[in-house]
Amino acid sequence: MKRMYTGKTKDVYELENGDYLLKFKDDVTGENGVFDPGANTVGLVMEGAGRAGLRLTRFFFEKLNAANIPTHYIDADIEKATMTVAPASVFGKGLEVICRYRAVGSFLRRYGLYAQEGQPLDAFVEVTLKDDARQDPPISKSALEMLHILSAEEYADLEKLTKQISQVVKDELSKKGIELYDIKLEFGRLKKDGQVVLIDEISGGNMRAYKDGVYIEPLELEKLMLAGE
Ligand SMILES: Nc1ncnc2c1ncn2[C@@H]1O[C@H](COP(=O)(O)OP(=O)(O)OP(=O)(O)O)[C@@H](O)[C@H]1O
Ligand SMILES: [Mg+2]
């Protein structure tokens, strides 16, 4: 098994058959010991966070597969905290696609002159560049095309998939009385045929979820979502 990449919350290995293995670690993004899904640093280590994140990821990827939404998911081993996935290449050096249902986080920090905290947003999709040194700047569709990061067709796929996937997650949360405020996804082109698919993970660390107006921490969200599953 060859290590391809050491990430902040996961390590990536290449298996002998060419598939990738994602190893979920107990590192959580945040600053000074406080969790923040938007942070670019590992802020704290939480015992069991890797497995909990993987269990929720498996839960959502299996729902997406059942809904015929294309993803990289192959299978998961919770004991080992690993997930086998189809290898993909990312757009440029990687993008994050955010879908927003309520104004919080970086949206509010940027547009606070016009937006109220918690104001409803209609599955608003925006893309940011994965560029830690530049604090993951937002990028427009035309800039993505102009800089040859992706094509217009790929952008359309990305936006459509983002809305579909986010809706699946939102519906699953709402079954447990939880409201999804925003979610951050990653996409790539499958190495085998170039198809645009969802990659990476969908765990508590990728979203902001609230119950009765109160923010739910990732580990708590994972517990609430998987109770009885
Ligand atoms: N199917 C896939 N094919 C190729 N790369 C993948 C696939 N799924 C996930 N990845 C990549 O594996 C890495 C997982 O590591 P991790 O999530 O720790 O990244 P990271 O360094 O924390 O970056 P970030 O915080 O911006 O997500 C990411 O770079 C992600 O883009
Ligand atoms: Mg990541």
Of 2, 10, 93, which is best to mutate to test ligand 1, by the most ligand atoms within 8 angstroms of its C-beta? 10
In CATH terms, is domain 2-87 a member of 2.40.30.10?
Answer: no
Q: How confident is residue 30, by pLDDT bands cut at 50, 70 and 90? A: confident
Determine the average pLDDT of the residues in 132-143: 96
Question: Mean pLDDT for the chain?
Answer: 95
Distances 52 to 158, 159, 208, 216 between C-alpha atoms, Å: 27, 28, 16, 14
Q: Tell me the one-letter amino acid at 171.
A: D
CATH T-level fold of 89-226: D-amino Acid Aminotransferase; Chain A, domain 1 (3.30.470)
Residue ranges of the domains in the chain?
Answer: 2-87, 89-226
Q: What whole-number percentage of the chain has pLDDT above 90?
A: 88
Give CA separation, 209 vs 119, 173, 192, in Å.
Answer: 14, 8, 35
Q: Which of 40, 184, 200, 202 to mutate to test the pocket of ligand 1 (most atoms within 8 A of CB)?
A: 200
pLDDT one-digit tens code per residue, 138-156: 999 999 999 999 999 999 9
Distances (CA, A) of 182 to 99, 106, 197, 201: 6, 11, 20, 15
β-sheet with 2-6: strand ranges across: 2-6, 10-14, 20-24, 82-85, 73-77
